[in-house]
Chain A
Amino acid sequence: MSTIPTVRQHLLLMFVAVLLATAVSSASSAAEWASLKGRFVFDGDAPEPATITADKDVAVCGKYKLVNEELVVSDGKGLANVVIFVRSKKVSVHPDLEDGSKADAMLLDNKDCRFEPHIGFVQTGQTLTIKNSDPVGHNSNIATMKNAPSNSLIPSNGSTDVVFGRDEAIPATVTCNIHPWMKAYLVIRPNPYGAVSAADGSFEIENLPVGEELEFQLWHEKGGYLDAFTLDGKKTKAKRGRIDLTVKSGGTDLGDIVIAGKVFQ
Chain B
Amino acid sequence: MEYLTVNTLSVESGTCTRPSKLWEDFARAGCGRSRPGKTRAFSDAGEGETGDSRRLLRTTGQMTGLRGPSHGRDCRPATTGWWAGVLASLMLPLLGTGCGQTAAASYRLNLVESAKQQLKPEQEQQVANILAALFGTPDEPFAPAECGLDEAKLKLAAGPVRSDIVGRKNGLYREHCAHCHGVTGDGMGPTAAFLNPYPRDYRPGVFKFKSTERADKPTHADLVMVLRNGLAGSSMPSFALLSDAKIESLAEYVKYLSMRGEVELALMRAFFELDDEDQGKLPEDRDFLIDEIVMPVAESWQAAEDALIDVPEMPADIDMAASIAKGKELFYGNKANCVKCHGVTGLGDGQVNDYDDWNKVVVQAYKTVEGSLEQAGETSTWNMDADEAAEHRAELAWLDRYQRVLDGNALPPRTIRPRNLREGVYRGGMRPLDLYYRIHAGINGAPMPAAKGTVPPEDIWHIVNYIRSLPYDFNGTLGVDRPMMARDRL
Contacts and interface: CB of A to CB of B under 8 A. Distances in A.
Given A153-B455, A160-B453, A169-B269, A178 B337 contact: yes
For chain A, the bracket of interface size reads 20 to 34
Interface stretch (B95-103, B270-278, B281-289, B313-321): B270-278
Contacts of B216: 148
Interface residues of B, number: 35
B447 interface: yes
A153 B337 contact: yes
B378 A151 contact: no
A148 B454 CA distance: 19
A265 B372 CA distance: 9
Interface string A149-178: 111111110101000001001000000011
A151 B351 contact: no
A151 B454 contact: no
Contacts of B337: 137, 139, 153, 155, 178
A265 B378 contact: yes
A243 interface: no
Nearest to B277: A89
Contacts of A145: 269
B329 interface: no
Interface string B110-122: 0000000000000
A178 B340 contact: yes
Contacts of A180: 351, 353-354
B421 interface: no
B334 A136 contact: yes
Interface in B339-361: 340-341, 351, 353-354, 357
Given A180-B353, A265-B375, A151 B449 contact: yes
B296 A146 contact: yes
A151 B451 CA distance: 9
A143 interface: yes
Contacts of B340: 56-57, 137, 178
Contacts of A155: 334-335, 337, 454
Most buried by A among B216, B335, B449, B450: B449
A141 B442 CA distance: 11
A262 interface: yes
B379 interface: yes
Contacts of A88: 275
A177 B273 contact: no
Contacts of B341: 177-178
Interface string A22-44: 00000000000000000000000
B214 interface: yes
Contacts of A153: 335-337, 449-451, 454-455
Contacts of A139: 337, 449
Contacts of B269: 145, 169
A195 to B, nearest CB: 20
A166 B269 CA distance: 14
B203 to A, nearest CB: 13
Given A136-B334, A169-B273, A151 B354 contact: no
Contacts of A89: 275, 278
A150 B278 CA distance: 29
Interface in B417-458: 442, 444, 447-455
A204 to B, nearest CB: 26
B215 A149 contact: yes
Nearest to B441: A151
A263 to B, nearest CB: 9
Given A152-B452, A178-B340, A137 B334 contact: yes
A80 B378 CA distance: 25
Interface string B190-215: 00000000000000001000000011
Contacts of A154: 454
A137 to B, nearest CB: 4
Contacts of A151: 214, 442, 447-450
Interface string B207-231: 0000000111000000000000000
Most buried by A among B273, B448, B452: B273
A177 B375 contact: no
A145 B297 CA distance: 12
Nearest to B361: A143
A177 B375 CA distance: 29
A177 B449 contact: yes
B450 A156 contact: no
Interface in B381-426: none
Contact of A177 (B336, B444, B447): B447
Given A137-B334, A265-B375, A152 B272 contact: no
Contacts of B296: 146, 166
Given A151-B449, A152-B452, A180-B354, 9 more contacts: A136-B334, A146-B296, A149-B214, A151-B214, A155-B335, A155-B337, A180-B351, A262-B378, A265-B375
18 contacts: A56-B351, A57-B340, A137-B334, A139-B337, A141-B447, A145-B269, A150-B450, A151-B449, A151-B450, A152-B454, A153-B336, A153-B451, A158-B335, A160-B454, A177-B447, A177-B449, A178-B341, A265-B378
Pairs A-B, 5 closest by C-beta atoms: A148-B215, A177-B447, A139-B449, A137-B337, A169-B273
